[in-house]
Copies of this chain bind each other. A is one copy, B any other.
Amino acid sequence: MTGEARARFERIYTLLRERICLLDYPPGMRLREEDLAEEFDTSRTPIRRVLARLEDEGYLRSVHGVGTIVTDIDIASLEQVYRLRVELSELIGKLSPAEPDEDAKRAFSAMKTRCEALVRTPSQRAFAQLNMDFFHLLMTLTENEPLQEFSERLYYQTTRIWLKRAAGEDGTEETLASEIGFFLREVSDIAAAVACGALESVGQIRRAHVAMSFARLKARAGEEVEAASL
């Protein structure tokens, strides 16, 4: 796969993965190859190439005769993925850190501004988008490509489930606002660390926040079980 075909593949792949992570395609949703083929003005063949990759990476599950379904992840499996994600988070500052220039520092500062605006007018979708943009900005701090690739995969695999359960329609508006508040603190802390070039600290801060956000999710899941059993 080369040239134009490659470019189209990347375009569709990135877009679909983003839709899955932003919950435009929520877990359990069924996609149809022919619909996608029509949307991207091609035949099923190139679409199937993209869906195959998304399936290999665990975002989708194709079932013969049924359809292509967006996967869901139970809390036990999610915990395994989070454990690994926590460890990888810290490596951002340890493996080939890229000294941030002035543009990068401004970008982190801009993230903080966007986040403060979000606190005033909360929205799940805007939160999801900001969270993703922030993640990609963080990834520019390491030049280790394999680390970037694996971190991306763990991020996309966990964040959508976390968003759905922690700040989704299930949760109250209160929990959404609360999560945005925690996120603002993370962005502020990391922006400060980046401002003074302390990349190792960035990794440690990130690690702590990733771990805490899962801990909150788990606690909330525990409450739900408790409430259901009453």
Q: What 4 A-B pairs have minimum CB-CB distances, sorted nearest first?
A: A2-B64, A84-B146, A81-B146, A1-B62
Instruction: Give the Cβ gap from A225 to chain B, nearest Cβ, in Å.
Output: 22
- Tell me if A116 is interfacial: C-beta within 8 Å of chain B: no
Interface digits, A56-84 against B, CB 8 Å rule (1 contact, 0 not)?
Answer: 10000011100000000000010011011
Contacts of A94 in B (CB 8 A): 87
- Tell me if A114 is interfacial: C-beta within 8 Å of chain B: no
Of the candidates B5, B87, B96, the one whose C-beta lies within 8 Å of that of A83 is B96
- Tell me if A179 is interfacial: C-beta within 8 Å of chain B: no
Q: Find out whether the CB atom of B91 lies under 8 angstroms from the CB atom of A150.
A: no
Contacts of A77 in B (CB 8 A): 145
27 contacts between A and B (CB under 8 A): A1-B55, A1-B62, A1-B64, A2-B62, A2-B63, A3-B64, A5-B64, A49-B52, A52-B53, A53-B53, A53-B56, A56-B56, A80-B95, A80-B146, A81-B146, A83-B95, A83-B96, A83-B144, A84-B91, A84-B95, A84-B144, A84-B147, A84-B150, A87-B87, A87-B91, A87-B95, A150-B150
- Tell me if A217 is interfacial: C-beta within 8 Å of chain B: no
Contacts of A81 in B (CB 8 A): 146
Distance of A73 Cα from B166 Cα, bound (Å): 41
Query: A residues near B, CB below 8 A?
Result: 1-3, 5, 49, 52-53, 55-56, 62-64, 77, 80-81, 83-84, 87, 91, 94-96, 144-147, 150, 154
Q: Find out whether the CB atom of A80 lies under 8 angstroms from the CB atom of B96.
A: yes
Distance of A96 Cα from B77 Cα, bound (Å): 12
